[in-house]
Chain A
């Protein structure tokens, strides 16, 4: 098979058609696949086991897969089976530590394999011989951890052209930022970035888990206020605010800023998004006026400073390490087109994203329950306290985001409208969370 990887993978097409939709990173869920074509397939390492790299065109969308081939499948890979190639088993190679370990060697030696170029970042010499393991969390790409040193993200849906995640990380690294995990290597072909390795922060815990531990603590107390319970998160929220502001400052410094004079266009976009969601979610109708007024209030802003921002900031995109908060995954907002993602935007978009995230963290434990006023009040108190602590922290490094109340409010509501649509489709029990936020939104300043 080593001479004919393309045919070998093509022979798997039916199996892939069945297998792909079950993958977490597969985007077009729920639709029937008609066409799986193999764009390219190359052997990265041969023998037992063999590793094949393939790019698939799935109904017009490009996907990257790593396929392992073995005569005998060890038990721990049973769940990763895709199908058979002749006598051999073909399986998801990202779950095979043995095969994934080899990728690190390719990166370390600056290898070229067929169309792929494996490159360490300038000045980085990679430690090799490390154990590989998949991180085992639900994610839209696939990440492999090497020892306690590196994490390699394999982009499942590579897009031609520049890769925002890589570019922004490089910019921040060159600014000496301690709020990102340093980039260490990339995998590219002539069109796309296919993989991106960074320093692994082995001691990290996600912001979401850290914040919700605090909420849990609060809700277990009948009568204490958020500031009174031991699990208070405000100190963390404030440090997180400062970290985000520092990232914004570094990005502005490295990549520049602009002024957006066409604020009306942005307002029109928010209205357009609202139109679409109103059509889908009737429960939103009662808030239409509040929302439209909030969006229109932005028209008073004649010129809006914009720059490169994180673009998809929430508590799941920040890691608490023993050295402070770190931001990850600068790919930008997943819902927007790649061309949209590279646009400069107001940093208040990131702030709004994080503020919404605090709201979610506070309320998620209550989702699906009968409304309980006591618990709701406590949760709202937690959200308010941490939202303002975040802004306080932000203001120690950058401008106080609350100074632009109209903008921040509009961005938050815009985000909440998006959330309503998302929850309506995916988790109807959660719709009340963004709806409550819209209901609680302060009036026009």
Chain B
């Protein structure tokens, strides 16, 4: 046992009494770390190697969802208690932002122990319980993992700065000068002036692509690579279904480059993938690389073998384009970005979203487009953050039900696996008076009761106040009343998810845009083997006619997917549809004999 003093590597963790890294030191100077065998393992999810291609993801902040112990902060047990709701809604996979031990100086992305859970959220065993209960309901769980850096409170960094010659001396990127890799841009220009920071303890500079309290791990060191692969194994053994790998482009550095997307970074991702494929088939890696699709596809790896790096990656530029297209009543913002999106390997899938826990990021748009988005969707300066807009879907769309439905229909039918953001299914609002990105991280609204049914605590102890305004407040907007009202947005969303599940074309199908002479109507065809679905969206607030050229399906009958109504058969002539303002249709194209009475 090491002595508990302020210089002990695990001193900063606040994890006394629960298993954590650095509780002991081995003979050769390595820190002991918790092992997966020490914890309960969850039962497996139903086997399906391609599940992520058709899954609907739901991003949920543990802190914001449900508080089981009444301390004002949501936790893993609380989330587990709400799995029935998520199963009822039709969610296939939860995505949890990091819940690891952390000083929380960067929303938990500053991880101080990869093998311990943030105490206010629970324990590793609580996570195992959540996983087990989720798998029991056919729901999978993935979480964020930051490969690139750790918190400066991580015992590895404490060891590294204090013992340059010890086993961790080389775990981070140290230098006597602060002038190496000068071509790498500074990401957080508001807070950081350099990618190097001087550490008085070690008397050297350390490298960090993000905040100075997040030193970059040194991937040149083979031991670091092994250690991080073991972190993957730790959680995979407990039963997690995959990771969203945060900030992947930055793992390696090389003089004379911008230190992003380097070949050796891809090599390491291939190693991660191999671990998953060989040891944990059916689990997934999702790359977080906020870049243009043409660059992001690199992270799927080799097309020839169906992809050998990440299974999934987010499609960032699509989201602002959806907003622009509807506001401009023109399909071109969406059509353009999809036309510029390269094809991806057969085993790969995009993740697409309308909103998430970050601001609506406008990094992947031109300056002109960013000005446009600010002018249209962030009329109050407080709605802006960094280069984005900190608002939830409902207020972004002026709480207009038709638009919320249209946006959701687009999200569920465009190519990629949709990611819903907690609370958007009931039309929750935001609180732009809260600082940073907290506007969109307020407690989930379960009922009209105290604290929106989120916690039993004294309202003053809530980690963030509930939304209380007359329009979006929990008295008006909550799960309980939405469930009691079958015409609510919640019920509508659930029905749409059901329809989506019934049609492999949405998840697995290819995508063909069906041009039309009406620039306000976006129509496309999704096809997977025999399943052919046509989606027609009116991006304008005014009713619109559209003529579609479907003669390829001459004789077939379009059946509307939400109600099953059969539309007139397709013939040689253009197929005329009229759509109400912001209306949309999903049709299955059926052979004439498929439906109805035997003939």
Contact = CB atoms under 8 A, between A and B. Distances in A.
Contact of A213 (B329, B339, B376, B515): B329
A206 B517 contact: yes
Nearest to B336: A322
A204 interface: yes
Given A133-B549, A136-B574, A323-B339, A204 B330 contact: no
Contact of B515 (A131, A203, A209): A203
Interface stretch (B28-36, B431-439, B494-502, B540-548): B540-548
What is the interface residue range for chain A against chain B?
20 to 34
Contacts of B328: 214, 230-232
B542 A216 contact: yes
Contact of A131 (B327, B368, B551): B551
B572 interface: yes
B547 A213 contact: no
B551 A213 contact: no
Interface string A201-214: 11111100110011
A204 B574 CA distance: 16
Contacts, number: 75
Interface in A57-86: 76
B515 A204 contact: yes
A131 B372 CA distance: 41
Contacts of B332: 205, 210, 320, 322
Interface in B83-119: none
Contact of A205 (B336, B518, B552, B573): B518
A202 B514 CA distance: 8
A217 interface: yes
Contacts of B302: none
Nearest to A217: B329
A320 B541 contact: no
A213 B519 contact: yes
Given A213-B519, A213-B540, A216-B542, A228 B329 contact: no
Contacts of A337: none
Contacts of B335: 203, 322
A137 interface: yes
Contact of A209 (B368, B517, B571, B573): B517
Most buried by A among B376, B516, B549, B552: B549
Given A209-B519, A213-B519, A232-B328, A97 B572 contact: yes
Nearest to A145: B549
B97 to A, nearest CB: 32
B99 to A, nearest CB: 39
Nearest to B571: A76
Nearest to B519: A205
B48 to A, nearest CB: 35
B327 A231 contact: yes
Contact of B519 (A201, A220, A320): A320
A230 B323 CA distance: 10
Contacts of B549: 133, 145
B208 to A, nearest CB: 38
Interface of B: 327-332, 335-336, 338-339, 368, 372, 375-376, 513, 515-520, 540-542, 547, 549, 551-552, 571-574
Closest 6 CB pairs of A and B: A230-B327, A205-B519, A322-B339, A203-B515, A210-B519, A202-B515
Interface of A: 76, 97, 131, 133, 136-137, 145, 201-206, 209-210, 213-214, 216-217, 220, 228, 230-232, 235, 320, 322-323
21 contacts: A97-B551, A97-B572, A131-B551, A136-B547, A204-B515, A205-B515, A205-B516, A206-B519, A209-B518, A210-B519, A213-B330, A213-B519, A214-B329, A216-B540, A216-B542, A220-B541, A220-B542, A230-B329, A231-B330, A235-B368, A322-B339
